[in-house]
Chains A and B, each alone.
Chain A
Amino acid sequence: MGSQGGFGQSKEFLDLIKSIGECRSKAEEDRIVLREIETLKTRLSSPNTPKFKLKEYLIRLLYVEMLGHDASFGYIHAVKMTHDENLLLKRTGYLAVTLFLNEDHDLIILIVNTIQKDLKSDNYLVVCAALNAVCRLINEETIPAVLPQVVELLGHQKEAVRKKAVMALHRFYQRAPGSVSHLISNFRKRLCDNDPGVMGAALCPLFDLITIDADAYKDLVVSFVNILKQVAERRLPKSYDYHQMPAPFIQIKLLKILALLGSGDKKASEQMYTIVGDIMRKCDSTSNIGNAILYECICCVSSLHPNPKLLEAAADAISKFLKSDSHNLRYLGIDALSRLIKISPEIADAAQHQLAVIDCLEDPDDTLKRKTFELLYKMTKSSNVEVIVDRMIQYMISISDSHYKTEIASRCVELAEQFAPSNQWFIQAMNKVFEHAGDLVNAKVAHNLMRLIAEGFGEDDDAADTQLRSSAVESYLQIMGEPKLPSAFLQVICWVLGEYGTADGKYSASYITGKLCDVAEAHLADDTVKAYAITALMKIYSFEIAAGRAVDVLPECQSLIEEMLASHSTDLQQRAYELQAILSLDANAVEKIMPMNSTCDDIEIDKSLSFLNGYVQQAVENGAQPYIPESERSGMSNISNFKSQEDHESSTHALRFEAYELPKPMLSQNVPPILASSTELVPVPEPSYVSDILQPATSAPSGSDAGPSELRLRLDGVQRKWGRPTYSSATPSTSSNDAVKIQNEATQRDSVGMSNSKARDVSYDSRKQQVEISPEKQKLAASLFGGVSKSDGRQPSSSQKVSKHQNPTSDKSRAAKAAAPDTAVVKTPQTPPDLLDLSEPSISSSAPSVDPFKQWEGLLDLKQDPTPVSAGGVGSTETSDFMSLFTDMSLNVPSDGVAGTMPNVINGNGLGGIMADHSAQQLNKGPNLKQALEKDARVRQMGVTPSGQNPNLFKDLLG
């Protein structure tokens, strides 16, 4: 060990790095790199280059590629080098290929042979190098080539080899589960390996396997608990300790596995309570790694069968996280809270949590904010939906990251649909979402919105439906003049105006049609919007005609229609022609074609076209040929057979490797007549085509126009999520009705009992229940939720009617939230009013007790650093000195004041601003300084003077 210092590279390489460091522009750098590439090209392919030189060239090539240039010309040399006898070269070759190549690269096939040979080598280092390459490069096709050797290596005498073999097998499992499914038992065996490293490695594949199928591994619960116990009791070698915690990484992995095994399994969970509780108690919450374990424990507790004691401990830990100054811990606290809230909703009632959550929501840190939104999303119910969705929309407008924008927009829609307290609010919220993220949200969301407006809240309350529609129309008329509305939103607007624009008589037909024409003209490039607009026009005109009023087509409408008649888009053309045709019909016919307010009616398709019977009859009597069904026409008898066969084959697009199955007896019965008729089957697609287009044709006369019926078709099977209990009565599932009832009770309780706390409770469960129909989860949720709702049952339902408009309560809750800091201080005097106050009692109280100077001098070698986490670590590195470069690897930043002084003492030059790492630094304090000085001197000797000559490379180091 020790310093390998002397950078050990040739002058050429040093010069290259130096000159790149000195570059002042990207163009200059590119020029140098291109020159280097040329040099490497000639040298690498020259036969006279000595081998040890080749190695350096390859490393230089790696460097070039790291800078983002194409080095593919050298890949083959890397492959060649893996063949070399010399271990030094072989290792470099393997490193290069693992960095250069992806597993689907063509050259892989050239390496497989070498890998095979090396896996059999008697030098374990060669085997290790080969296994590293196996993990990176072997793909699905080449797995069989190395699999036997890798399996054999599971029993190798060197633990390093066994460990890598386990990981390689794990990789194979990830790549192609089928190829190693018969070898899975090996992972179980490796769990009992003598070496903790191998055991730890075996946990990775087992975790994956258990994620897929926990039931098959229930027998291992005892073993895992035992291992965890032994780890926690420090039975593993001391070298696995990390910052005074016994093998924390193995502990975390085991906790993850236990969480999976104990989820939804009371018996298994009971076996785990003791050990998880023990670990939580033992965790040192002043170190980062201790908190990592603590967090994992909380995750585990939240997935096990609930245990009050553990839940309490977890809640305590969460409140510590939330109170911390460190953003990292608060982030984890929020995350943990959202996990725990699922099974223990009361936890959110604690006023101190609410404060912390609000704090995080207002934090400038985006990451923290998003996490908090995630939590809010899970806590939403009808009493707080307005505040939460408003917040979300505000945030959505402020960000530019489209990935996250999409997500948050669809969440807004989901929440609003589920919990909306009033029509106006719902429409307004939707308007905002669509206005700012309309093109990002799924088209389904837009269709859903149209359906909601069309169907309203259910059959029993027509007045409310009408109100919803007219408020939608009104807001759309206002908003539609704005420039740059997203296409999806415009479609919704057009559709709603067409259906309901004139419904309440407030606006005249000519006003609405004028607006629609404006939309169509303003969005000439968008055919979909134009199609929606023209269909809307058609509806309005036909309503007018049906009502017996005279239709005056505005001149701009007329010109629009004419333009459409000549449109390149056949769809637009057809719509325009249809409109024209309707305009010339009389009121009776129009009423039949376009019945008023019919979007919610089911269309019954008369497939046999029975209403034409009389007409056909008449024609036949007049001497027409009777219709012969397809199946009875000669030569066509096989069509249906053929078609079904084709369907079957087209469903499996991929190549088939297995043998064809034997012909089915039923098929063979059908075959003889075909042969007998001697018309060999010709794959004519026509008949099926005919039957395809037949259906829409038949549906046309019975329904309304194409637009709405299309919509209705698309919306089939979409779940109904509207918040009103009556609404979902349309879905016949009894279980979801139950859920609604329960939620209703919960809502009641909220509105009665805790309108001022923005508490989040059971409604999340009930919602989940509604959304996911997986029976297993439903059962679990019902059992979790049933307990809560029972206690709610006694709440007098008469105290407040099942609130149709929850405005009063939610307003109150909003007010309460706005005044949250104040009220909370009143409520919980023990929480300090200013959460940013650094002197939190519980966690950082030990900070002043440790003298940082002493610590620096290594006098307190084994003492843990006092404060919990580094806050970003390096607030003041601007002035860092060369020799204190990596000394800020501290986990912890005691405080800024102290931080500034420490390096001064050590370096004596007053430049430093970095903290000392408490472990690495303590171990070799003296040598470090010396080493750093030596290194500095060496660098200067080599001419890479860290001074103004090459500012780009060293600027940050010197400040």
Chain B
Amino acid sequence: MIHFVLLISRQGKVRLTKWYSPYTQKERTKVIRELSGLILNRGPKLCNFVEWRGYKVVYKRYASLYFCMCIDQDDNELEILEIIHHFVEILDRYFGSVCELDLIFNFHKAYYILDELLIAGELQESSKKTVARLIAAQDSLVEAAKEQASSLSNMIAQATK
């Protein structure tokens, strides 16, 4: 089971956190501090896995961002590494060559995508297409709602001219 997902920038800034096991706000801060110290200091050619408090943390660096997932001792590390990559591929397709700025400004969208990918700490959907379809469906509803709102305000604006 995945206990949490962390996205940290190279400066140790948190870009996204998702907790699948209960952690209090205090513990969260501590975990993030501990892990960013551990992971950011690792050399480039080492394993993508770190043992930590009896768990394993699998991380991968993409440009300036570290994607980390914390898993149980008996999970398959390489699989998790691929889940991370899977997530990044989906992000990339959604944002169109995703960059850190996309994730800073639209972090809530990254959360929506993550919610379609992982649920309760397990991979729920391994088909990129399905995830994309679901996100698109949600977005189209959002777009519709927006259009409605803007057309309404347009009408009001024209009426008051």
Contact = CB atoms under 8 A, between A and B. Distances in A.
B125 A197 contact: yes
Given A63-B107, A167-B120, A327-B46, A872 B25 contact: no
Contacts of B105: 7-9, 13-14, 17
A880 B65 CA distance: 13
A932 B136 CA distance: 22
Contact of B47 (A247, A295, A367, A888): A367
A353 to B, nearest CB: 19
B76 A4 contact: no
A252 B80 CA distance: 11
A872 B48 contact: yes
Contacts of B108: 59, 62, 92, 95
B24 A5 contact: no
B101 interface: yes
Interface in B112-153: 112, 115, 119-120, 122-130, 132, 134, 136-139, 141-142, 145-146, 149
A56 to B, nearest CB: 10
Contacts of B125: 163, 197, 200-201
Contacts of B130: 160, 197, 239
B97 interface: yes
Contact of B145 (A70, A87, A197, A882): A87
Contact of B120 (A171, A885, A917): A171
A181 B63 CA distance: 46
A873 B122 CA distance: 25
A735 B60 CA distance: 49
Chain B: interface residue count, which band? 35 or more
B141 A87 contact: yes
B10 A956 contact: yes
B89 A95 contact: no
Interface stretch (A286-294, A505-513, A809-817): A286-294
Given A5-B96, A170-B120, A328-B49, A252 B76 contact: yes
Contacts of A955: 11
B63 A197 contact: no
A99 B54 CA distance: 25
B82 A95 contact: no
Contacts of B11: 952, 955-956
A295 B102 CA distance: 35
Contact of A4 (B81, B94, B120, B145): B94
Nearest to A132: B115
Contacts of A196: 127
Contact of A2 (B54, B96, B128): B96
Nearest to B143: A88
A86 B145 CA distance: 8
Contact of B106 (A4, A331, A953): A4
Interface in A919-953: 919-920, 923-924, 927-928, 931-932, 935, 939, 944, 952-953
Contacts of A681: none
Interface in B45-100: 45-51, 53-54, 60-64, 76-79, 81-83, 85-86, 88-89, 92-100
Contact of B95 (A3, A247, A883): A3
A125 B120 contact: no
A931 B96 contact: yes
Contacts of B53: 403
B29 interface: yes
Nearest to A931: B96
B111 A95 contact: yes
Given A873-B61, A874-B44, A887-B97, A8 B89 contact: no
A163 B102 CA distance: 29
Interface in A845-892: 871-875, 877, 880, 882-883, 885-889, 891
B14 A367 contact: no
B82 to A, nearest CB: 5
A197 B32 CA distance: 32
Given A104-B22, A125-B141, A252 B120 contact: no
B96 A891 contact: no
B126 A167 contact: no
Contacts of B50: 367
A499 interface: no
Contacts of A248: 79, 82, 126
A128 interface: yes
A328 B120 contact: no
A135 B119 contact: yes
Contacts of A919: 89
Contact of A125 (B101, B102, B109, B138): B138
Interface string A53-94: 000000100110011101000000000000000111001100
B124 A292 contact: no
A638 B152 CA distance: 85
Nearest to B89: A920
Q: Which has the most chain A C-beta neighbours within 10 Å: B43, B61, B130?
A: B130
A367 B104 CA distance: 31
Contacts of B149: 52
A555 B90 CA distance: 80
A463 B134 CA distance: 78
A247 B99 contact: no
Nearest to A872: B44
A103 to B, nearest CB: 6
Contact of B29 (A68, A289, A935): A68
A181 B120 CA distance: 19
Contact of A331 (B47, B83, B111): B47
Nearest to B80: A292
Given A63-B107, A327-B46, A328-B48, A873 B145 contact: no
Interface of A: 1-5, 7-9, 13-14, 17, 52, 59, 62-63, 66-68, 70, 86-88, 91-92, 95, 98-99, 102-104, 125, 128, 132, 135-136, 160, 163-164, 167-168, 170-171, 174, 196-197, 200-201, 204, 237, 239-240, 242-243, 247-250, 252, 256, 288-289, 291-292, 295-296, 299, 327-328, 331-332, 364-365, 367-368, 370, 403-404, 871-875, 877, 880, 882-883, 885-889, 891, 914, 917, 919-920, 923-924, 927-928, 931-932, 935, 939, 944, 952-953, 955-957
- Report the 6 A-B pairs with minimum CB-CB distance, sorted nearest first: A3-B96, A956-B64, A292-B78, A239-B129, A7-B105, A872-B44
21 contacts: A1-B93, A88-B141, A88-B145, A167-B122, A167-B124, A197-B126, A200-B126, A248-B126, A249-B123, A289-B78, A292-B81, A327-B45, A328-B48, A367-B46, A874-B44, A889-B89, A927-B96, A932-B97, A935-B96, A956-B10, A957-B100
Given A17-B105, A125-B138, A872-B48, 19 more contacts: A1-B94, A2-B96, A91-B138, A99-B18, A132-B115, A367-B50, A368-B46, A368-B47, A871-B45, A872-B45, A886-B99, A917-B89, A917-B92, A920-B89, A923-B93, A924-B96, A935-B97, A956-B11, A957-B63
